[in-house]
Structure 1
Amino acid sequence: MRQDITYASPTAGGERRDLKLDLQVPQTKGPKPLVVYITGGGFIMADKAANLDQRTYVAEQGYAVASIEYRTTTTGSTYRDGVADVKSAIRYLRAHADELGIDADKVAVWGQSAGGYLAAMTGATNGEDQFEQGDNLDRSSDVQAVVDEFGASDLSRIGDDFDAETKAAYLAPGSFINAYVFGPNSTRTVATDHAANRAANPATYLGRSSAPVIVLHGDNDHIISPSQSLILLDALKAKRVEGTRYVVKGADHGDLSFLGDPEAGEKWTTRKVMGPITRFLDKQLRG
């Protein structure tokens, strides 16, 4: 484990801020395929120390696993900044691949909740220059695989499976969704600004360059509508991008541990769930 590696120093809240990552690399010979882990946190927080057990399990399968910080709404940052941060971390890791023991040609992103959304955006936007910011721009940020666990896709429909009151709260001006799309103090919403909603939707960018995706969602998710992952799967099929969706029966939102409900994450730490993820990574990065 190497901790607190600074991979970028972008502006956030009007000040430069170091963004850091933690990297686990198996102590075996040869360069390792890389998995960049993107934690959840409601677009409000991004704790790179989260879910160490799951990250370690993936590392034990022979992968270098980097867990990254990214900019959030607490500094007035938007999804564009978050996607740019993920891509910046990938470029940094590729630029330092030799010294870190990484195979720069085999890179996946794996995210949960808000991180799942950013992972989907990252893989969908392979080759999109508009999200490239910062250093190491001579390196590619393209990825070869995406693991999206209970992430959002079409933000205007994020509450479709919930009651009318919850749905209205999600779409209200200044909600955590709208703050991440439009920034602080904006009265605009993804429900009424259709162009902005399309620009924030990974489906908009899907094409021949997009990475294959595995998406997993609990059918008892109370934070992000389970239909969000079905919307993404349908978009993948329409654009002929490889995609597979798994529904975890009885599972709630796996990132509820950061909201004080650790039991909500238990179904997401089983081998029954982690197995399809590591098999997918094996296929895309080692096949």
Structure 2
Amino acid sequence: MADLVTPGELRGLIAAPHPDVAPLPRATEHADGVRAIRGVPYAEVEGSRPLELDLWLPAAEGPAPVVLFVHGGAWRRGRRDDMGVRTRGWAPGPFERLAAAGLAVACVDYRLSGEATFPAPLDDLRSALRWLGLRADELGIDAERTVVWGESAGGHLASLLALTDDEPRLAGAVIWYGPADLTSPRPPFDPADAATPEALLLGGASAALPELAAAASPLRQVHADAPPFLVVHGEADSMVACSHGRDLADALRDAGAPVEWRAIPGADHGWHGASDDEVERIFAASLDFVRQHA
């Protein structure tokens, strides 16, 4: 007869292993010795789905620097394996390119605004950093040389992570067309509107939640000890005004923090309207920035 167990003991037996100790899924091999490990659980959140990340690991031996990639989607949607519409047709894709250049890449899930409000997604990114540090030896990475890279809403979260996390301190931040200010009117954003993506992130209109909106605004978190930033924004951005990126870069510079600012003439959100060559140059400049600082 099988040993009898209590319901509590049975729940413990059948539960999936905790992400801190769970075996890694099987890797798939790509060109140049790059390995991809998809759907790796990195955190368990009570009452929520397991949070996962995809790993792209380079062939080179020795601890590799890390890119922590944060996807966009207005904090409401999006996929961790998507760097934006202009890179979707690339072969090899952008993350495989980064790994082929000797970088490890962690593309992370975070809770969307339909699941939890701010600061939940920022807390999730911190959990991902913790997990990467915990499993660093096993993965062959150097988590202390991590650059966060985000686009659109992911750029907003990446900025906040770089500006508010001191332990471990990030090596840098690459911000593509990310919102920086959730407190002031910047068309099309209206802080009094309770139906904006920003309001859904906060749980109410920014104007009605001024302290929370300020805490969620990278522009309000700038300080002299910030890690190096590369901020890139299209001058014709119709969804997130170019002033977000320009003002963030100016504030970092005024505070004495290292920052590179690039405005892309004629480019709308997601690099719409930019030439293929221009998008390649933006990606190459971002890769060069990571290599320089990681």
TM over 0.5: yes
* Structure 2: runs of 5 or more not aligned: 1-35
Normalized per residue, the structure richer in helix is 1
Pair 1:121 & 2:142 matched = no
Name the amino acid aligned to 1:172: D
- Corresponding residue for 1:270? 279
1:254 and 1:268 in contact (8 A); partners too: no
Q: In terms of Rg, which structure is larger?
A: 2
Pair 1:221 & 2:256 matched = no
Name the amino acid aligned to 1:190: S
- Corresponding residue for 1:240? 256
The percentage of counterpart residues that share the same residue type is 28
TM-fit CA distance, 1:9: 1.2
Q: Size of the alignment, in residue pairs?
A: 251
**Residues 178 and 112 (structure 1 numbering): CA distance in 2 closer, same or farther, change over 3 Å?**
same
User: Given the alignment, which residue of 144, 155, 164 partners 1:105?
Assistant: 144
Q: State the distance in 2 between where 1:36 and 1:110 align.
A: 6
TM-fit CA distance, 1:279: 1.4
- Within 5 Å, which residues of 2 pair with 1:128-207? 140-157=167-184, 160=186, 162=187, 166-168=188-190, 171-181=192-202, 183=203, 186=204, 189-207=205-223
Name the amino acid aligned to 1:270: V
Name the amino acid aligned to 2:269: H
- Corresponding residue for 1:134? none
206-215 or 146-155, larger mean C-alpha shift: 206-215
In the superposition, the TM-score normalised over structure 2's length comes to: 0.79
- Corresponding residue for 2:267? 251
CA RMSD of aligned residues (A): 2.1
TM-fit CA distance, 1:199: 1.2
* Structure 1: runs of 5 or more not aligned: 128-139, 256-262
Q: State the distance in 2 between where 1:25 and 1:237 align.
A: 34
TM-fit CA distance, 1:265: 7.8
Q: State the distance in 1 between where 2:56 and 2:278 align.
A: 18
Describe the superposition over 1:183-226 as per-residue Cα deviations: whole angstroms up to 9, x where unpaired.
2xx4xx22354322221112333334421110100111111001
Q: State the distance in 1 between where 2:125 and 2:239 align.
A: 23
In the superposition, the TM-score normalised over structure 1's length comes to: 0.81
Q: State the distance in 2 between where 1:80 and 1:199 align.
A: 9
1:111 and 1:118 in contact (8 A); partners too: yes
Q: State the distance in 1 between where 2:227 and 2:213 align.
A: 22
1:39 and 1:47 in contact (8 A); partners too: yes
Describe the superposition over 1:69-96 as per-residue Cα deviations: whole angstroms up to 9, x where unpaired.
0001111x22311111111101101110
1:87 and 1:141 in contact (8 A); partners too: no
2:266 and 2:274 in contact (8 A); partners too: no
Q: State the distance in 1 between where 2:235 and 2:289 align.
A: 21
Name the amino acid aligned to 2:69: Y
Pair 1:55 & 2:64 matched = no
Q: State the distance in 2 between where 1:218 and 1:91 align.
A: 33
User: Given the alignment, which residue of 78, 83, 95 partners 2:117?
Assistant: 78
TM-fit CA distance, 1:167: 4.0
Q: State the distance in 2 between where 1:50 and 1:250 align.
A: 23
- Corresponding residue for 2:60? 28
Q: State the distance in 2 between where 1:35 and 1:267 align.
A: 23
SS class of match (2:287): helix
- Corresponding residue for 2:21? none
SS class of match (1:37): strand
- Corresponding residue for 1:133? none
Pair 1:37 & 2:37 matched = no
- Corresponding residue for 1:258? none
**Residues 253 and 194 (structure 1 numbering): CA distance in 2 closer, same or farther, change over 3 Å?**
same
TM-fit CA distance, 1:268: 8.6
